[in-house]
Structure 1
Amino acid sequence: MVKVKKEGIVLEKTDLPFENVAVLNPAVIKEGDSVHLFYRAVRKGEYSTIGYCRLDGPIEVAERLDFPLIDAELEIEKQGLEDPRIVKIDDLYYLSYTAYDGFNARGALATSKDLKTFKKHGLIAPPIRYTDFMAGNKTGGKMSGKYYRSQLYYYKESEPGKTLMLWDKNVVFFPRRIKGKLVFFHCIRPGIQMVSVNNLEDLTKEFWDHYFHRFQDHIFMDPVFEHESSYIGSGCPPIETEYGWLMIYHGARETNQGMVYSACAAALLDLENPARVITRLPYALFEPEYSWETKGEVNNVVFPTGTALFGDTLFIYYGAADEHIACASVSLSKLVAELINSW
């Protein structure tokens, strides 16, 4: 098994009103020796915004804003902007996040040219009602049992005057175009799906109608191992290596103590056809073990959302117990070798 070092907590909540409950699940991008974190900041009432800090090197905090960098402005995000991820494609930064209105949670996008000001593009998740998805009306017939059971488990009763939309979270872009197309993961439990489009403007209702008519064709990864037996979801943006795209994702399993969320070195994906999974690590890369990972706003959580590479050392940033931002490190070359040896 490849050795992973827990570096400890990088960022804690403060007494500032916008982050006095928790900080967690940061979007991460490295520029030079600086690491930029765009993190989920939670205030009382479970409202989330996106805070910002800059690290000097992989661990040391050099700068931190005392106000949200990105706040809720749209009706779709009135309860919060959650769990951001970020990549740079060409000269534009793509920051994806979950927009939560207190009832529906769906993938949204903002872009920036300078990491200081962001333009919101609204929802990029499919506009499909929960009832349509469950009935198979938009999926070309009855869906597989595991998807039906998983969605039924997370179903909640509609409130008067509200329409329950299909929850679709954890939108994560690849950091470059592949064969000229923008490619991103999204997550309808229990698996991970993949979308490929020429431009964001292609994500029309007609596009999604066609997509869901062949929904099974777009599922490229499902849970298969014990440590991810309940469901899996996107984690960090994929990392390009000579052997394929390294994907680190999250998995969850039900235990007698409740749900346990582990970080998993998921796979190597084909560089030019990333829907082809070359290999997957058969064990969790790391799991909750320290008190700050096992006890918090949500117990037993390590939720990876970003990485930074310094030499051969890959630093993985994650939300710990839904309350702190922590970091783990691993040799990139050894991790890739471990994956190759598992073929």
Structure 2
Amino acid sequence: MPHAEFPLGPFTPYAENPILTPQGDGWESGSVYNPAAVVKDGKVVLLYRAHADDIVSHVGLATSDDGLHFERHTEPVLSPTENYERHGCEDPRVTEIDGTYYLTYTAYDGTNAQLCLATSTDLFTWEKHGPLFPDFNTFEPNAADVPTPWSKAGAILDRKVNGRWLMYFGEGSIYHAWSDDLIHWEPGPQDEPLMVPTPPGTFGEFLVEVGPQPIIINNGLILLLHNAAVKFEDGTVRYTCGQLLFDPARPTEILAQMNRPWLEPTTREDQHGLVSNVTFVEGLVHFQDTWFAYYGQSDSTLGVATYRVGETY
């Protein structure tokens, strides 16, 4: 792992964002956003959420030699096939371990959102393993208006912790889960989230949600970039991005957190779209001496922010 410290950054949004926009009249004609990212064969690969005006999401694939300019595969690589995902396969995150790619995504049936897992060795053909936490509601302890089951946002660490695999997951509040085989996951207690929404007046007072996969950083700690939101009286929201720091020996105890966003809506694309005022990061890679953070802009387009090690806040 390249040198990195908490907080990771500063990240600078790419001046020519968005890097991907809707196209054609088919499956990615309405919105293109919320990408997972991984480096494979010397290229950055994005696995991005896209849909037409029906808002039934698919996962598309795009590759880049420089992390900024992408060539898209013509067809989606993951689409709804099961009843529990009939309204969409949404919001992927991906981790590569020993040549296998572990993709978490949200399956939506029109009422319930459930975190699901799929695996691949080539990023194009995926085996689905179904919902991971069918009895969970990650909006606890504030889930009065959210149907159960409800779970999203799974991010898997690429190495074992104390002999087991670790995942952070959750929208609303943030939880953790353990696995012996990377396929079957045992969540922590429903009533013991690792992080709940932040105090009133702060950038995560409505919800907090896991961002890209966690990483081991230079000073030996786990870094998790997460998304957070406030909700206004008129029903609109504003999504920004935070960071958490954990001790890998005790990865369920937060050591530190950023109390102001490292990424927030600043451009027209960030501030106007299907859901306005959203920067939503789901992809993080280190490539060509630079960290690339990929994010959805107002649920409509796809942007990137970069950080070259040595730059300072």
TM-score, normalization by structure 2: 0.88
Task: Answer 1 or 2: which has greater helix percent.
Answer: 1
**Cα 1:127/1:216, change in 2 over 3 Å:** closer
**Cα 1:111/1:320, change in 2 over 3 Å:** same
Deviation at 1:68, TM superposition (A): 1.1
Deviation at 1:91, TM superposition (A): 2.5
Select the residue among 127, 133, 145 that pairs with 1:119. Answer: 127
Q: Structure 2 CA distance, aligned partners of 1:238 and 1:16?
A: 36
**Root-mean-square deviation over aligned CA pairs:** 2.3
Q: Which amino acid aligns with 2:206?
A: S
Q: Structure 2 CA distance, aligned partners of 1:315 and 1:201?
A: 28
Deviation at 1:223, TM superposition (A): 3.0
**Cα 1:102/1:270, change in 2 over 3 Å:** same
**Cα 1:332/1:100, change in 2 over 3 Å:** farther
Tell me which residue corresponds to 1:69: 77
Q: Which amino acid aligns with 1:220?
A: L
How is 1:146-185 mapped onto 2 (pairs within 5 angstroms)?
147-148=140-141, 150-152=142-144, 154-155=145-146, 164-185=147-168
Secondary structure in 2 matching 1:126? coil
Tell me which residue corresponds to 1:216: 191
**Cα 1:46/1:167, change in 2 over 3 Å:** same
Deviations 1:300-334 (A, max 9, x none): 00000011213553111000000001001124566
Matched, 1:318 2:295: yes
Select the residue among 72, 86, 105 that pairs with 1:97. Answer: 105
Deviation at 1:276, TM superposition (A): 2.4
Secondary structure in 1 matching 2:305? strand
Q: Does the aligned pair in 1 maintain the 2:132–2:184 contact within 8 Å? A: no
Deviations 1:120-160 (A, max 9, x none): 111112335x7xx9xxxxxxxxxxxx944x311x33xxxxx
How is 1:1-343 mapped onto 2 (pairs within 5 angstroms)?
3-7=10-14, 8-61=17-70, 63-128=71-136, 147-148=140-141, 150-152=142-144, 154-155=145-146, 164-189=147-172, 191-200=173-182, 202-203=184-185, 211=188, 214-217=189-192, 219-224=193-198, 226-243=202-219, 244-255=221-232, 258-264=236-242, 266-332=243-309
% of aligned pairs identical? Answer: 27
Q: Does the aligned pair in 2 maintain the 1:312–1:333 contact within 8 Å? A: no
Secondary structure in 2 matching 1:26? strand
**Cα 1:84/1:188, change in 2 over 3 Å:** closer
Deviation at 1:12, TM superposition (A): 0.6
Deviations 1:66-112 (A, max 9, x none): 21111111111111100000001223110110001111110001001
TM-score, normalization by structure 1: 0.81
Q: Structure 2 CA distance, aligned partners of 1:311 and 1:15?
A: 32
